[in-house]
Every structure is written in structure tokens, then in C-alpha cells.
Amino acid sequence: MKLTQLDTEKINKKSLHIDEMTTIDILKLINEEDQKVALAVNKSLNQIEKAIDCIYEKMCLGGRLIYIGAGTSGRLGILDASECPPTYGVDSSLVQGIIAGGSQAITQAIEGVEDSTELAVEDLKKINLTSNDIVCTIAASGRTPYAIAGLQYAKNVGCETVSLCCVQNGEISKYANCPIEVVVGPEVITGSTRMKAGTAQKMVLNMISTSVMIKKGKVYGNLMVDVQPTNEKLKMRAVSIVCQSIDCDERKAKELLNKSNYNVKIAILMGLTGKDEIECQNALEKNKENISLASKKLIEENKEE
């Protein structure tokens, strides 16, 4: 397929004279086009669901989620991966981002690396990729050689694979177990896929990591209960989370947190059930670290007694 035939490279007729527009008209046009992104993502929810369920299943077996891409796509993968430890208290190795050209490419464009198939294989070998892992390759155009090579190598290793692109029938989709295609249409600035395509990718990656972490018990209600209270601000947030979770005052929340060594999930479970730290820890381990499941189980046991 010729480059100009790709959805991400087509001319946007609405912006043909954007260089002659006033500032407010430029902004209105960009905003109008951006509003189409969420609608495009909505059309791909079934594809995203399949990918999330696959990722969750592999993680439950000890697998890691590896994002890999070049340019903007690679940077977005790194961004999503880097936010998982502070938000959900997971180890930094659980969700990783790899970009063509390495750390320098995060802030600087390194020409040519996106065309290297050998580099993708080398990068995945460096992290000791195994069949337990899940590789999610991100490429707006769906044709980046680096991204495709990474996906092919992952399949050869025996990994489950996910692809994310912004074109119909993307080349990369042919190689993934769970292809995701979010077609947002031509960019306001032709070929500038950091715009609508980048926004779509960010939205999908948010959905993937957030949904997986919810399923892994990192959220109670809509609260981040695996927050790591490593500084005063985060300790205050931990107190607030416990207060909201069990409808108590700060004094009670701090008491529970002190008893649980500032483990927010155990503190909440202790407050909900009246059980001690050890019983709550055991209940969480037996119920996939899910507070709702663990509390129901402990309450049922109380009734039986």
C-alpha cells in the first residue's frame, strides 16, 4: 500500500487552508477533529476487551506486559508503563515500555531506527522476553518495520500479542493475536500522527492498563487502594482513601493504617470486617487481592460462626 493511501496520511479537506486561519479558527478545527477520537475508540471496544482479558490472564500466570513502538507510539507506551508503579503500586518490571532508539529517542527523534527489524529483536532479547509475557506493539500507521519485527519475534517466542494501530486492515494486525484498530481519519496537519492518532493511542493504553489493574484488585470502588505512601502527601492520600472506603474519621483511618503498617488494602479490610491484619492479609491472598471479594468472604465466615 502506498503511503498516501493510509488513513493516517490522507489529506484532511477541512484543514486545507489552515495556514490562513485565525488562531481561534485553528483551535476550533483541531477541537472538532479531536472530538471524533472518542467515537472512533468506541467502535473498537470489543477488540480492546479481547486484548485486556488476554493480558490479565497472562499476568495472573506471572507474565509481563511489554509495550514496543517507535516515535510517538513508543513514547506513549513508555508513558503508560511508567505511570503504573506510582498509581497501582506494582513493580516497574510488570509493565514496560520499549522505544526504537532507546532512552535518547524519548526526547529526540533518531532517524532510521523505526526501519530496523534487527533492533526490535535485540531490544526484546535484552529484557529476556519469554512465552509468559504479552507484547503490545504500537504503530499509528500499522506498517512500521521495527514494530512489526517486534511482534513477529514475540510470536516466535510464544508470547500472546496485541497490536494497536490507527488504520483499517493495518499490516501489523496480521501478526497479532489481539489486533486493535482505531481509525480516526486524516490529521489536521497531514501525517502528524502525534495528534488524533496519538490521542487515540493514549486513550486505548489508558483503558488497557487501568482495566487490567482493576481486574488485579488494585482498585476498591473507584479508589487507588494500592497507593504506596512513600511521602507525606501520599500518606495523607492513604488516610483519605481509608476514610472514604469505610466512612470513618481520620483518627480511625490512621489507627487502622498504623496497625496494618500503612498497607491501605489491609487497613480497609480490617475496617470493613473487624478482622485482624493476618486474617485480612490471608483473605486478600485467597481472593485475587480484591477487597470486595475478600470482605464478602470474611463476612460470610462470620455469619457461619
Active site residue ranges: 83, 114
- The 3-class secondary structure across 102-149, one letter per residue, is CCHHHHCCCCCHHHCHHHHHHHHHHCCCCCCCEEEEECCCCCCHHHHH
Cβ–Cβ under 8 Å, residues 228 and 234: yes
From residue 255, alpha-carbon distances to 7, 87, 291, 299 in Å are: 57, 24, 19, 21
Cell numbers representing residue 155 in the block: 510470536
Number of H-type helices and E-type strands within the chain: 12, 7
What's CA 229's distance to the chain center, in Å?
22
> How far apart are alpha carbons 170 and 10 in whole angstroms?
15
Sign of CA dihedral 197, 202, 204, 208: positive
Residue 239 CB neighbours (<10 A): 23
Give, as one character, the DSSP assignment of residue 19.
G
